[in-house]
């Protein structure tokens, strides 16, 4: 059966793109758009951050434009590039989905849950989506700070196409480490259960984000294997491909 990824270009516009839903990419799809203010946030907080290797994701000229005073001239190109990167990650798939809710330290009750998705792109970029069950939108895109010690660059990878450098693997490993669980008996790392919850501090907003209903898509691309009925992160990481069976 043909996957939705094969029909992406048919519905691409300047600010939206039909992409495969990584949870069921052969049958379902999303119309992916940008949240209000998302591109401005990505540029100001991330592209202009010299610690993030945006040269891995964007053409050098576009990076220079976005870091300059006339960055607005590059917004449309940035949007189209991010949509294409997200489409590739959905088509592979390389996605983490979860329900997210925030707890304000000055309030007793938590805010309502939001269905979210974190995509790992081949260049190592992470793209964060929200409201994936109703109105999926890109809210931000960034490179994890704890995965930036890779002494390679996009130019180096282009010059050496057979290099074993895989920008996506380091953030994928860190994400998998963060969301797997340690079983008590036996003492082994395993796939998160339905009751697994992760606490993620949000320093910018002074809030704590809680995540549950955690799922990896697909278990194969995240290197989980079935170990006597329990999925564990013991497999070999498969080579990057836009689509897997």
Q: What is the pLDDT of residues 147-167, one digit of tens each?
A: 665 444 444 444 444 443 589
Q: Which of 131-145, 165-179, 201-215 is least confident?
A: 201-215
The two beta strands, 137-142 and 29-34, are: parallel
Tell me the average pLDDT of the chain. 84
Question: Is 11 within 8 Å of 26 (Cβ atoms)?
Answer: no
3-state DSSP assignment of residue 4: helix
Q: What is the pLDDT of residue 157?
A: 47
Percent of the chain clearing pLDDT 90 (strictly above): 66
d(CA 91, CA 3): 8
Q: What is the pLDDT of residue 109?
A: 59
Each residue's pLDDT tens digit, 49-94:
999 999 999 999 999 999 998 899 999 999 999 999 999 999 999 9
Structure tokens at 212: 């549950």
Q: What is the pLDDT of residue 88?
A: 95
pLDDT, average across residues 128-149? 89
């Amino acid at each position: 059966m043909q996957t939705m990824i094969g029909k992406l270009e048919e519905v691409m516009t300047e600010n939206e793109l039909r992409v495969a839903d990584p949870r069921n990419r052969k049958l379902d799809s999303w119309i992916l758009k940008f949240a209000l203010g998302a591109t401005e946030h990505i540029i100001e907080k991330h592209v202009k951050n010299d610690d993030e290797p945006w040269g891995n994701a964007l053409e050098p000229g576009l990076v220079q434009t976005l870091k300059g005073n006339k960055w607005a001239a590059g917004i449309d190109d940035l949007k189209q590039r991010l949509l294409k990167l997200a489409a590739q990650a959905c088509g592979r798939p390389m996605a983490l989905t979860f329900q997210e809710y925030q707890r304000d330290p000055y309030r007793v009750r938590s805010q309502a849950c939001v269905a979210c998705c974190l995509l790992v792109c081949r260049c190592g970029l992470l793209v964060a989506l929200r409201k994936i069950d109703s109105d999926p939108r890109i809210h931000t895109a960034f490179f994890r700070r704890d995965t930036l010690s890779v002494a390679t660059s996009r130019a180096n990878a282009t010059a050496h196409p057979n290099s074993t450098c895989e920008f996506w693997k380091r953030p994928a490993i860190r994400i998998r480490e963060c969301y797997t669980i340690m079983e008590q008996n036996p003492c082994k790392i395993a796939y998160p259960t339905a009751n697994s919850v992760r606490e993620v501090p949000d320093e910018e907003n002074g809030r704590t984000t809680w995540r549950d209903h955690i799922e990896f898509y697909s278990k194969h691309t995240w290197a989980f294997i079935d170990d006597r009925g329990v999925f564990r992160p013991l497999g070999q990481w498969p080579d990057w491909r836009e689509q897997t069976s």
